[in-house]
Structure 1
């Protein structure tokens, strides 16, 4: 099983790129990590993130057992190293082939994308400021793709290389 992890700040395009990849590669499952941490009101602490990691690994394990699934695309904001480490350790135990990519973009692009997204309830000014503050941290991670001047198709192609 191949697992593609798309990490990055809110609004960078993880979900859009992940869904594009799943739609264009038969046998690919799409997992949004937010589904695995959908608590109302939102609580993003160590306990809930650990639960989400467990949920993600459980889902991937079930996809691994499915004869029609050969790839999983996981999109999730993982700004704490322990979260990425737990997921990659779990995937290693499953003997999955893992590709971990962090998507980033310029501040200006993030603001524009944020303002153009009218479908996501999280697109508030408060969360935009949180996302903008997180850009430098994500820019310091490994396997970066700057999506600023690229189309969804171009980003997906770079991820799949």
Structure 2
């Protein structure tokens, strides 16, 4: 039996472990490709305008669409903050996911764990000023999303990747997201 093609959409606040877990997940999956949405924001100077937001979203959808259309891939892993349902819905509405199990999930952790992770990242120079406050403000927003929550508070990155790999997929065509 041929395993299903799987498209992972991993959201969560900054510092929760999305990028690390997504990278580990992609390494363990067959014929995978990884896209971190932050890569589409890696601009200097960093500018959040209506124009740059639209461009980044368009670039993400374009890349994901190409990955999903490519027969070389069995697994597509996408991670990004994804803190609003409308962002996830918009991305899915622009993609042809037929033939793919879609696996949306939001990574969360306790406020104390998030604070500790971001402070350590800040001390190591891996986080911009203001990240802690923004991330803590985003954390409660994930409870309102339709994607399941995966609490990473007590999980090592490898354990998070294993838990992601074990999640059930969804057929988003049934929810009206087919193009």
**Does residue 105 of structure 2 align to residue 105 of structure 1?**
no
Find the partner of 2:65 among 32, 38, 61: 61
Report deviation, 1:104: 0.5
Aligned counterparts of 1:73 and 1:52: Cα–Cα separation in 2: 17
Report deviation, 1:26: 2.8
1:136 alignment counterpart: 140
Matches within 5 A, 1:1-150: 1-91=5-95, 93-95=96-98, 96-117=100-121, 118=124, 120=126, 123-141=127-145, 142-150=147-155
Secondary structure of 2:71's aligned partner: coil
User: Please, which runs of 5 or more residues in structure 2 have no aligned partner?
Assistant: 167-179
Q: Which has the larger radius of gyration?
A: 2
**Does residue 179 of structure 2 align to residue 159 of structure 1?**
no
Report deviation, 1:65: 4.0
Report deviation, 1:41: 2.3
Aligned pair count reads 158
Q: TM-score, normalised by structure 2?
A: 0.79
Secondary structure of 1:2's aligned partner: strand
Aligned counterparts of 1:47 and 1:81: Cα–Cα separation in 2: 21
Pick which of 26-35 and 63-72 moved more: 63-72
Q: Which runs of 4+ in 1 moved over 4 A?
A: none
Return closer, same or farther for 1:150/1:160 CA change in 2, 3 Å cut-off.
same
Q: TM-score, normalised by structure 1?
A: 0.87
For 1:126-146, what per-residue CA distance to the aligned partner results, in whole angstroms no more than 9, with x for missing partners?
A: 211111111111233230001
For 1:42-95, what per-residue CA distance to the aligned partner results, in whole angstroms no more than 9, with x for missing partners?
A: 22344323322221121122223433311111010122332111111123x342
Aligned counterparts of 1:82 and 1:21: Cα–Cα separation in 2: 25
Aligned counterparts of 1:104 and 1:14: Cα–Cα separation in 2: 9
For 1:79-123, what per-residue CA distance to the aligned partner results, in whole angstroms no more than 9, with x for missing partners?
A: 2332111111123x3424311100011111111111233262xx2
Aligned counterparts of 2:30 and 2:106: Cα–Cα separation in 1: 23
